[in-house]
């Protein structure tokens, strides 16, 4: 070994991502507490910018992309260098990646409260930010593959397989979900409408969980857990089987978010069966983590790092068992649209992502600062308050979900809904919302303790910016050695690894989405379903802007309890002009699929001004600004043109009359309001008439008699 | 220790069974939640089956142990040497018994920590070694079972079985409900409708009506019936008629174009009768802040006899 090379690991970039992770983590969790409190005290919905509808996506984006995002980059930048025996390929790219990602986060923190959103869950950011994300992701990819190709280590360790799959899948998901036609600098319409948009969304949304929150963290677990435990990984075979099975199967499971919806039955069934088949591959990761601790359990009692990791891996195991169970249709019929789902994702987010991030931070900081942790006792306190926080968060919400679902479904013997007033099913669970807020606050307090502990550790330590290392140059022996495992062959070829990962993750998406897009018969047309009028379209965009979809679904499932409450169940043909689709995934308020005609215009007017006047006890935010803000119709021609390009059959030159058309409809609604006793002036020029126009249109098309039958 | 574990499991099972039997009658009318009880009973059945098998295995093992022990004691007493005692312990090949072999084959088979050097891969990654343990048999078996289940599921619902589509499921649910409602309504007073409804005067029923009014009507018609978004109930002017039958009809079907919603999905016929009776009792109470009169003066038949109806709680 004459050609030993000297080089240095870059610790600065790891520290930067780690710091960003806990700073954004605090912000994201704080927003979470605020929206949890808004559900108990609706008066906390301040002004148009800080209402629940706008803050909820801020919370999800902050914890997913800012807290966990920076966390996974921290883990990857630290472990990748050491596993490859190489410094990151290019320091400049590392820092472009870091600052680019922070700019994306800052843009999100500004645009989401402003109401600039696409409304697609976890893909809310508007198209210019989408492009920025793509660029940053490409920079990250170049830097990662540059490092892999200039490595000194022949074989890629299992953690890196996960990193590669993460990179390519997130790239594919993000690009496909961002197929959209810009209308203005801040608005766009998605390429797909209705059912196809829904399918694409949950293919994306589910796999954002899979490949942003799960695979990179599994990679981190494979590096940091054996390191912290100082034990060999339990089974190499298990790593291989569970890795390939996981990435292949995960991508198919998206439709389990759309069970009992207007999605064709076969797509739903694929979602169910692939979710069930996902149990074992997911548990493979948990097993390899927990069994690696064989012989180290005595240290789990003392070492806070291992404690955090054990709870993280266990939470991962629980969430990945619960997920498939919720994908069984009869369970889903109960859990879907309720707080059960919220509890489920928080076991994953707080337990798996949160605790693994903390474990890694507690392990990394003392090493990078060449000292001991400031206080083990404080770290243990953090652990216990955090664990209890998860329990106090999740259990009341499970209970709330059950309670609400059973109330929604209960009939009297005479055949009327036992809880005909939706609000009764909301006020019933508010005490559980309060407990959830307490649990979330406990977790947040724990995080503050953690940040303080890390800060003090940094203060007493001495940061090692460039860590000296040495290793022999890579000998390029690609031929198979005798008796080596077949998989070794692949581990020497990162590009083959990338190729096969791409092939495997592409199959599921292609099988589900392509037929939906190209086979007309999958979406039976309904002749009376017509495109939105310009004013309704404007109202719909306001509905999107305010984030109404965060609490109101537009998808009536084929259950008697839902058709009794809301009206005829939803048909896929009703959504063909819905860009984006607004089915929603949570009913904090009632479904609005057939809201049209249910209440008079004046009811909506009063309800928007103050929901409690029409529904005493309602927890919906008030929207007085809609009664005051001027109705902006100037983008209508661009919107109509864009939608026509995407396939909405607006007549030729309609964009020229769109504004006049909208003004006429606005006048009618304003006149209607006046006749119903609303005394305000100039209502036809306010946003309120647009939102009323849209709400009154909802779900009414199928009630129209087709022209031939008249 | 083991038996305690089983006992606890049994106890838990009993508790769940208890809870189940208690919730079952309450859930019965909720036909749409039907899936739940049937799944619970399946799970319960499977769990008890598994428990039974485990218990049998345990009993057999205890029996075996006791049998061996008795033989050994007998032998000791008689001073006889058992064949096993004759052979030195170390020389005996440690053959796994049947249960151990089954466990290793189908459940778990880790190489003991002391021997893990034998299966450690040569190469370390940044100091991390990997063992080459067998895939946990229970894990890989579970994987196979889920795959078989998936194929079966697709067969049952799509490729040939007779699983219902969600549309068919819905139709079945509605049919069932129709029958149940017919049975429940047979000969019940709740079959009042707009053709036969009368004013109720029992104060308990009117009080029920008042409760419904405060919860559901007061938002639009005022706490005291003085009117708001909706019309005033205390004057003599009625837009859609002021008789009990007119009022019942308005409540039941609503007047959607004017903003009155239909309540028949939310209120039972008896409830609508009570609340209509309560509303008619408000006439002439002359509360403050009354809304201006709307609709024609009502002089129709069923002008409420205010003397007969005592407004409770006033």
* Sign, Cα dihedral of A325, A327, A328, A331: positive
Residues 184-203 of B with CB under 8 A from A: 184-185, 188, 190
Same domain? For A415 and A552 the reply is no
Distance to chain A for B269, nearest Cα, Å: 9
- Nearest 5°: the CA angle A352, A354, A360 is 95
A601 lies in a domain?
A: yes
Q: Are residues A460 and A567 in the same domain?
A: no
Report residue B60 CA to chain centroid gap.
39
Whether residues B113 and A599 touch (CB distance < 8 A) is answered with no
**A357: closest CA among A67, A61, A28, A60?**
A67
Domain assignment present for residue A261? The answer is no
Q: Which residues of A touch B258 (CB under 8 A)?
A: 600, 676
pLDDT in tens, A340-363: 999 999 999 999 999 999 999 999
Inter-chain residue contact B131 with A333, CB threshold 8 Å: no
Cβ contact, residue pair B125, A157, below 8 Å: yes
Mean pLDDT of the region A652-662: 94
| pLDDT > 70: percent of chain A | 98
Contact A612, A624 (CB under 8 A): no
**Interface contact A558-B167, CB threshold 8 A:** yes
Give me the half-sphere count of Cα atoms (radius 13 Å) on the Cβ side of residue B209.
Answer: 27
Q: Is residue A248 part of a domain?
A: no
Asked if B36's CB is within 8 angstroms of A559's CB, the reply is: no
Contacts of A601 in chain B (CB under 8 A): 259
Q: Which of B36, B130, B170 sits opposite A233 (nearest CB)?
A: B130
Chain B residues with CB-CB distance to A263 below 8 A: none
Across the interface, of B39, B220, B267, the residue whose CB is closest to A330 is B39
Query: Of A470, A492, A507, which one is at a domain's C-terminal end?
Result: A470
Q: Identify any residues that bridge with B260 across adjacent strands, giving them in sequence order.
A: B255
Which pLDDT tens digits describe chain B residue by residue (314 residues)? Answer: 455 666 666 666 555 544 444 444 333 333 333 344 566 667 778 887 888 888 888 888 888 888 888 888 888 777 776 655 544 445 555 678 888 888 888 888 888 888 989 899 888 899 999 999 999 999 999 999 999 999 999 999 998 888 999 999 999 999 999 998 888 877 665 578 888 888 888 888 888 899 888 888 887 888 888 887 788 888 888 888 888 888 999 998 888 767 787 888 778 888 888 999 999 888 888 888 888 888 888 877 554 444 444 444 33
Domain B194-314 matching CATH 3.40.30.10: the answer reads no
Chain centre to alpha carbon of residue A554: 19
Residue A611 lies in a domain: yes
Distance from CA of A322 to the nearest CA of B (A): 15
CATH assignment of the domain containing A569:
1.10.760.10
Q: Least CA distance to A157: which residue of chain B?
A: B125
Question: From A260, which residue of chain B is nearest by alpha-carbon distance?
Answer: B166
- d(CA A386, nearest CA chain B) in Å: 28
Residues of A in contact with B118 (CB under 8 A): none
Of B146, B180, B188, the CB nearest to A277: B146
Q: Determine the structural domain holding residue A550 and report its residue range.
A: 534-709
- Please report, for residues A418, A693, B12, B182, the alpha-carbon distance to residue B188 in angstroms, rounded to integers and kept in the order given: 18, 43, 42, 10
Q: Which residue of A153, A276, A602 is in closest CB contact with B150?
A: A276
d(C-alpha A645, C-alpha A665), whole Å:
24
Report CB contact under 8 Å: B188, A414. yes
Chain B residue numbers touching A274 (CB-CB < 8 A): 150
- pLDDT above 60 (res A709): no
| Whole-number pLDDT of residue B26 | 39
Across the interface, whether the CB atoms of A558 and B125 are under 8 A apart is answered no
Query: Strand pairing partners for A464?
Result: none
Q: Which of A187-201, A458-472, B88-102 has the lowest mean pLDDT?
A: B88-102
Nearest Cβ partner of A569 from B154, B170, B267? B170
Cβ-nearest to B133 among A83, A234, A410: A234
Taking the domains of chain B in order of start, what are their residue ranges? 1-20+41-86, 111-163, 165-189, 194-314
pLDDT at B31: 36
Among residues B138, B261, B37, the alpha carbon closest in space to that of A597 is found at B261
- Tell whether B153 lies on the interface with A, counting CB pairs under 8 A: yes
CB of B141 less than 8 A from some CB of A:
no
Cβ count near B301 (within 10 Å):
11
Q: Are A658 and A544 part of one and the same domain?
A: yes
Task: Tell me the shortest Cα–Cα distance from A429 to chain B, in angstroms.
Answer: 18
Q: Is A373 left (phi over 0), alpha (psi -120 to 50) or beta?
A: beta
Encoding tokens for residue A448?
Answer: 């503050």
pLDDT, position B105:
84
Under the banding of pLDDT at 50, 70 and 90, the label for residue A659 is: very high
Record: contact B219-A614, CB cut-off 8 A: yes
pLDDT of B92 reads 53
Residue at A559 is within a domain: yes
Q: Could B31 and A560 be called an inter-chain contact, meaning their C-beta atoms sit closer than 8 Å?
A: yes
pLDDT the model gives residue A289: 95
User: Across the strands, what pairs with B255?
Assistant: B260
- Whether A670 has a pLDDT exceeding 90, the answer reads yes
Selecting from B153, B174, B177 the residue whose C-beta is nearest the C-beta of A269 gives B153
As for the ipTM of the complex, it is: 0.92
At residue B230, the pLDDT reads 83
User: Looking at A470, A497, A525, which one is the last position of a domain?
Assistant: A470
* Residue A416 to residue B36, Cβ atoms within 8 A: no
- A273–B150 C-beta distance less than 8 A: yes
3-state SS of A322-340 is HHHHHCCHHHHHHHCECHH
User: Nearest-CA distance from B276 to chain A in Å?
Assistant: 18
Chain mean pLDDT for chain A? 93
HSE-CB at B215 with a 13 A cutoff on CA atoms is 18
Q: Verify that A441 and A581 share a domain, yes or no.
A: no
Instruction: Show which of A427, A451, A470 is a domain's final residue.
Output: A470
Q: Which of A206, A144, A301, A194 is nearest to A525 (CA)?
A: A194
Per DSSP, helices labelled H in A303-416 are 304-326, 329-335, 339-346, 355-368, 376-409
Please say whether the dihedral angle defined by the alpha carbons of residues A229, A234, A239 and A240, taken in this order, is positive or negative. positive
Report, as an integer, the average pLDDT of A535-564.
96
Taking only the tens place, the pLDDT of each residue in A38-95 is 999 999 999 899 999 999 999 999 999 999 999 999 999 999 999 999 999 999 999 9
Best mutation target among B31, B33, B182, B295 (most A Cβ atoms within 10 Å) is B33
DSSP string, A83-133: HHTS--S-HHHHHHHHHHHHHHHHHHHHHHHHT----STT--S-HHHHHHH
Per-residue pLDDT, averaged over A194-199, amounts to 91
Give yes or no for B179 touching A (CB within 8 A).
Answer: no
Chain A: residue nearest B153 by CA?
Answer: A273
- Quick one: pLDDT band at residue A523, thresholds 50, 70, 90? confident
Nearest to A551 by CA among A171, A55, A146, A158: A55
Residue A595 confidence (pLDDT) above 60 = yes
Minimum Cα–Cα distance from A261: chain B residue: B166
Cβ(A294)–Cβ(B113) below 8 Å: yes
Specify the residue for token string 């018969």.
A521
Q: Indicate if A466 and A538 belong to the same structural domain.
A: no
Tell me the shortest Cα–Cα distance from A471 to chain B, in angstroms: 11
CB pairs under 8 A between A and B: 204
Residue A52 CA: distances (Å) to CA of A35, A42, A49, A125, A423: 6, 9, 9, 17, 18
Choose among A303, A347, A133, A308: nearest CA to A220.
A308
CB-based contact, B134 to chain A, within 8 Å: yes
Report yes or no on A140 lying in a domain. Answer: no
Give the count of domains, chain A. 2
Q: What is the mean pLDDT of residues A673-680?
A: 86
Residue A137 within any structural domain of the chain? no
Facing B149 at nearest CB: one of A158, A276, A613: A276
| A287:B167 CB<8 A | no
User: Could you tell me if A122 and A208 are in contact, meaning their C-beta atoms sit under 8 angstroms apart?
Assistant: yes
């Amino acid at each position: 070994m004459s050609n030993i090379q000297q080089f240095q690991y870059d610790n600065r970039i790891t520290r930067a991502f780690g710091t960003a992770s806990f700073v954004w983590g605090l912000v994201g969790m704080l927003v979470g507490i605020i929206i949890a409190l808004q559900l108990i005290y609706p008066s906390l919905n301040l002004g148009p910018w800080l209402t629940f509808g706008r803050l909820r996506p801020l919370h999800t984006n902050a914890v997913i992309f800012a807290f966990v995002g920076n966390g996974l980059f921290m883990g990857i930048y630290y472990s990748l260098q050491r596993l490859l025996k190489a410094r990151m390929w290019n320091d400049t790219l590392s820092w472009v990646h870091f600052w680019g990602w922070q700019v994306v986060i800052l843009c999100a923190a500004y645009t989401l409260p402003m109401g600039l959103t696409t409304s697609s869950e976890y893909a809310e950011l508007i198209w210019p930010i989408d492009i920025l994300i793509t660029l940053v992701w490409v920079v990250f990819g170049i830097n990662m593959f540059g490092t892999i190709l200039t490595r000194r280590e022949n074989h890629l360790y299992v953690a890196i397989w996960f990193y590669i799959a993460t990179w390519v899948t997130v790239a594919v998901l993000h690009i496909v979900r961002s197929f959209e036609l810009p209308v203005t600098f801040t608005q766009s319409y998605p390429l797909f409408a209705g059912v196809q948009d829904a399918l694409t969304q949950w293919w994306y949304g589910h796999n954002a969980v899979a490949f942003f929150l799960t695979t990179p963290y599994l990679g981190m677990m494979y590096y940091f857990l054996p390191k912290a435990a100082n034990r060999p990984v339990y089974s190499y075979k298990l790593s291989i089987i569970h890795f390939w099975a996981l990435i292949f199967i995960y991508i198919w499971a998206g439709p389990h978010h759309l069970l009992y919806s207007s999605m064709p039955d076969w797509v739903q069934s694929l979602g169910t069966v692939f979710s069930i088949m996902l149990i074992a591959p997911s548990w493979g990761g948990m097993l390899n983590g927990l069994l690696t601790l064989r012989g180290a359990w005595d240290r789990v009692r003392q070492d806070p790092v291992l404690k955090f990791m054990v709870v993280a891996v266990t939470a991962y195991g629980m969430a990945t068992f619960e997920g498939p169970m919720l994908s069984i249709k009869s369970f889903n019929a109960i859990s879907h649209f309720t707080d059960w789902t919220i509890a489920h994702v928080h076991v994953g987010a707080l337990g798996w992502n949160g605790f693994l991030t903390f474990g890694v931070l507690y392990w990394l900081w003392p090493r990078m600062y060449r000292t001991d942790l400031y206080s083990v006792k404080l770290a243990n306190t953090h652990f216990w308050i955090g664990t209890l926080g998860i329990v106090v968060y999740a259990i009341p919400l499970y209970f709330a979900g059950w309670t609400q679902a059973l109330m929604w479904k209960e009939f009297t013997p005479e055949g009327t809904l036992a809880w005909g007033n939706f609000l009764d099913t909301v006020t019933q669970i508010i005490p559980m919302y309060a407990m959830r807020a307490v649990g979330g606050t406990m977790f947040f307090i724990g995080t503050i303790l953690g940040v303080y502990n890390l800060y003090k550790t940094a203060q007493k330590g001495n940061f090692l910016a460039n860590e000296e290392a040495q290793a022999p140059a890579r000998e390029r022996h690609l031929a198979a050695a005798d008796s080596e495992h077949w998989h070794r062959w692949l581990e020497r070829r990162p590009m083959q690894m990338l190729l096969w990962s791409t092939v495997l993750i592409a199959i599921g998406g292609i099988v589900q989405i392509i037929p939906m897009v190209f086979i007309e018969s999958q979406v039976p047309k309904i002749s009376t379903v017509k495109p939105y009028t310009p004013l309704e379209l404007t109202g719909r965009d306001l509905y999107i802007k305010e984030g109404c979809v965060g609490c109101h679904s537009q998808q009536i499932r084929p259950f008697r309890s839902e058709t009794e409450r809301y009206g005829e169940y939803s048909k896929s043909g009703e959504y063909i002009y819905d860009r984006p689709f607004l089915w929603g995934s949570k009913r904090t308020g009632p479904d609005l699929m057939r809201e049209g005609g249910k209440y008079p215009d004046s009811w909506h007017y009063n309800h928007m001004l103050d929901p409690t006047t029409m529904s005493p006890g309602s927890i919906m935010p008030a929207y007085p600004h809609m009664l005051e803000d001027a109705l902006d119709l100037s983008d209508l021609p661009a919107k109509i043109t864009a939608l026509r390009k995407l396939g909405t059959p607006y007549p030729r030159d309609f964009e020229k009359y769109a504004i006049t058309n909208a003004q006429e409809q606005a006048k009618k609604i304003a006149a209607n309001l006046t006749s119903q006793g609303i005394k305000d002036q100039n209502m036809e020029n306010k946003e309120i008439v647009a939102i009323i126009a849209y709400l009154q249109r909802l779900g009414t098309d199928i009630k129209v008699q087709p022209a031939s039958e008249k | 220790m083991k038996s305690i574990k089983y006992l606890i499991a049994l106890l838990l099972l009993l508790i769940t069974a208890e809870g189940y039997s208690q919730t079952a009658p309450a859930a019965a009318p909720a036909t749409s939640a039907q899936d739940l009880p049937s799944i619970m009973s399946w799970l319960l059945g499977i769990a008890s089956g598994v428990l039974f098998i485990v218990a049998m295995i345990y009993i057999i093992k205890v029996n075996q142990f006791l049998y061996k022990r008795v033989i050994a004691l007998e032998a000791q007493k008689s001073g006889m040497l058992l064949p096993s005692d004759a052979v030195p312990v170390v020389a005996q090949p440690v053959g796994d018994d049947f249960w151990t072999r089954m466990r290793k084959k189908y459940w778990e088979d880790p190489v003991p920590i002391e021997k893990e050097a034998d299966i450690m891969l040569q190469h370390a990654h940044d100091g991390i070694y990997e063992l080459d343990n067998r895939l946990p048999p229970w894990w890989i078996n579970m994987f196979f079972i889920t795959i078989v289940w998936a194929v079966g599921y697709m067969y049952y619902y799509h490729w040939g079985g007779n699983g219902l589509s969600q549309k068919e499921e819905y139709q079945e649910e509605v049919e069932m409900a129709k029958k149940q409602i017919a049975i429940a309504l047979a000969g019940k007073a709740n079959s009042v409708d707009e053709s036969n409804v009368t004013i109720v005067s029992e104060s308990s029923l009117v009080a029920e009506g008042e409760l419904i009014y405060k919860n559901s009507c007061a938002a639009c018609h005022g706490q005291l019936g003085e009117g708001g978004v909706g019309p005033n109930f205390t004057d003599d002017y009625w837009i859609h008629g002021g008789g009990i039958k007119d009022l019942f009809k308005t409540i039941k079907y609503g007047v959607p174009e004017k903003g009155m919603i239909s309540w028949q999905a939310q209120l039972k016929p008896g409830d609508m009768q009570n609340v209509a009776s309560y509303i008619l009792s408000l006439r002439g109470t002359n509360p403050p802040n009354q809304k201006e009169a709307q609709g024609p003066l009502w002089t129709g038949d069923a002008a409420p006899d205010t003397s007969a109806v005592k407004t409770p709680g006033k």
